[in-house]
Amino acid sequence: MEVRVENGGSYEVGKSGWGQSLPVPSIQEIVRSEFQLVPQRYIHENKDGPIISEDLADSLEIPVIDFSFLAKGDEDEVQKLHLACKDWGFFQVINHGVKEEILEKMKAAVAAFFELPFQENKKYAKAENEIEGYGQNFVVSEHQKLDWSDMIFLFTFPSQNRNFKFWPLSLPGFKEALEEYSREMQKLAEELQANFSVLMGLKRDGLKRLQGGGGELKQGIRMNYYPICSRPDLVLGISPHSDGTSFTLLLQDDDVTGLQIKHNEAWVPVKPIPNSLIVNIGDATEIQSNGMYKSIEHRAVTNEKKPRISIATFMFPDDEQEIGPVETVNINGRQH
């Protein structure tokens, strides 16, 4: 699989790791030492496309799917899911069954990690040629523009894929919060995948049987921290990209808007609904649906007054599995 990044760079993802990334400074350390400074390498001079104002964005809100109806096979909700994937590639999920306590514990654990001294975080820095660990991902050139964020990425499911040398096990409650959250995301993802299967004209386990690896969706979780920035107009929290996954589940702060998606050639801010999860279609599902469902370009912006946290759970097929269009896909999004 090839991953493309801003400024034309790319690299191949292989089974020994999801690519390599050059070491870069921690943006948290830059902010802590000199808040007003925006180093040249972080300045994105050409931000493509207009930004829809938050006032106008109210009329362009991404679809909302009620998972309690979807899980019961409600026809209207299934059709809403089809249209959301086809027209937007993004939707928010409410009534998903994940307890608020689990969501809040996860956000608190991530916040606690990024509040640690830099020297402590550095213990979990990425190893050469690996994607797991603390730092930034997909930095492939010394001249590449950098994102105004730090992150830690961990493989979380199946459990034998976990590499605990990158887990901050000494941080009280982190391991327990992540494991509990990971289990809930796996259950939610499996139900979503079953619905995608039906919409592509397959049985509920159709996509599961096509993904390899014994039929299990693989899972990795990226925890992002976006420090405040004195010039948010000059930087990007995460550069524009689409996800090379089956799909992604995103948990973010309830009170800070940062995610923007590309819709009709404009950037639309996504206002989070409290205790909801955002789902976006990945490249693998776009391929399987023969282009019916869209893997949409998205990015994250920063804030001058408030830092922001987001937690992206990536669901993906086995690395060795070849992905192609499902032959039974039909434009109505209904089972034959």
Q: Which amino acid is at 214?
A: G
Of 158, 250, 159, the closest CA to residue 211 belongs to 158
The pLDDT assigned to 5 comes to 41
Model confidence over 123-178: pLDDT tens digits? 999 877 778 999 887 777 777 889 999 999 999 999 999 999 999 999 999 999 99
Give percent of the chain above pLDDT 70.
85
The pLDDT assigned to 319 comes to 81
Strands 266-269 and 308-316: unpaired
For residues 186-197, give the mean pLDDT.
96
Most confident among 2-16, 44-58, 123-137, 299-313 (mean pLDDT):
299-313
Q: What class does CATH assign to 2-316?
A: mainly beta
Dihedral sign computed on CA atoms, order 99, 102, 104, 110: negative
Model confidence over 35-77: pLDDT tens digits? 678 989 899 876 666 676 555 555 568 999 999 999 999 999 9
R_g over Cα of the chain: 19
20-29, 75-84, 156-165, 276-285: least confident range: 20-29
Give every CB contact of residue 130 below 8 A, 6+ residues apart in sequence: 17, 18, 20
HSE (side-chain half, CA atoms, 13 Å) at 269? 17
Count CB-CB contacts under 10 A for residue 64.
14
Task: Specify the 3-state DSSP secondary structure of 262.
Answer: strand
Quick one: three-class SS letters along 17-80? ECCCCCCCCCHHHHHHHCCCCCCHHHCCCCCCCCECCHHHHHHHCCCEEEHHHHCCCCHHHHHH
Model confidence over 208-221: pLDDT tens digits? 988 776 778 999 99
Is 109 exposed, middle or buried (CB count within 10 Å of its CB: 0-12, 13-18, 19+)? buried
